[in-house]
Structure 1
Amino acid sequence: MADPLTETIVSEARANTPAALRAVYESLAPSVLGYLKSKGCEDPEALTQDVFLAVFSRISTVSGGPEGLRTFVFSVAHARMVDDYRRRERQPATAPYDPQLDQRTTESAEDAVVHSPLAAAELLDGLSEPQREVLLLRVVADLSLEETAATMGKTVNSVKQLQRRALLALKERMAGKEAADKHEQHVQQPQ
């Protein structure tokens, strides 16, 4: 098969003739793409485009006819491949997030309160009377928001706010207690 790149096409490409530039691209792009794919480049199609942008911006300086042009094109392709490797080495490897493999958990405020080593009465002491009432009706009596609101003579939204604030206050108290316990254990350990 005859080489589609001829001295004439290379000369016309050096003069930036669109048809000749297209012929150069169509002749060499598949080989450049194959080279970049075989080297394991992350996005070989984009790198191929980068190669030809660089080649076409400097094609007027190319000498040596079709062989010189081929050498120049693959020199640029090789440089882009090396740049791709270096860029990937500088960036940390990314892994897709899989929720099935993620073992981190945080218990809900409700669970933290229910499973606390502190007595329920002690936990509720620091809350306002409406906050205590909401938690007792919602958690202990297992009433719905609507039932709690009707029992207390409040709106559902005000019950939600009272519950949210109460649970946040309890969670903060428990976190403070746990931190104090850890500090106490650390102080009591012999050095």
Structure 2
Amino acid sequence: MHRFMLKNCFFLLLCICLGSCNVTTPKEENTIELIGIHHIELTDLKPCINVSFNGTLAQKNTLSDLLESDDMKEFRVDKTNENFYKDGMYDNKDQTGSFIYGVNYTIVLNSLSEKDRISELLKEKDIPANINSNGYFVSPETNSTLQDKAFQKALANAKTRITAYADSLDMHAEIIGVEELDDYQLYPVDGIVYNDKLIKKIKVKAHLVED
């Protein structure tokens, strides 16, 4: 009997405690996300050309000597690819031919008019090579400056739009998240870009709070 009364008392106390507790759910946050954009126009860029060579070992050595000569010292020259194969190896496997060498170079010019000068030098040396335009070179220092400027401009663009929206609701905005988008546009591995107009995008998330 005593044990029964203790159980009843415990049950009664438990019900009283549960009844006095108010279970509330947190109010859903009022947030907004916008993408800030800044257009970048690249100026004073150095044009690049691609020199594609296919020929004999002797011609390959002549090309290498030319690109290392005083005539080319004012340009930046980077070898991007090199391969070789035996002439006729795919048409007749029993045929023994000489090796054909293929080499690609990227050359950074000071102005696009110098493309004709490179072409004349190759012609004078009787080097079988093709020349094609290959974008623009952006130095690491210029790229870093562009990154900082573009980030701040795109961020300011997003903040301005969020603030305008919050003001229209008689609220104010608290920034709770910033994310960079489309970084590949401004991080060329080889320093070469193929467009003189780039776009920086920053996604900004804000919490809208009543004034």
- Shorter-chain TM band: under 0.3
If the length of structure 2 is used for normalisation, what is the TM-score? 0.25
Larger Cα Rg: Structure 1 or Structure 2? 1
Looking at both structures, which has the greater relative contact order when contacts are Cα pairs under 8 Å and sequence separation is at least 6?
Answer: 2
If the length of structure 1 is used for normalisation, what is the TM-score? 0.26
* Structure with the larger strand share: 2
* Structure with the larger helix share: 1
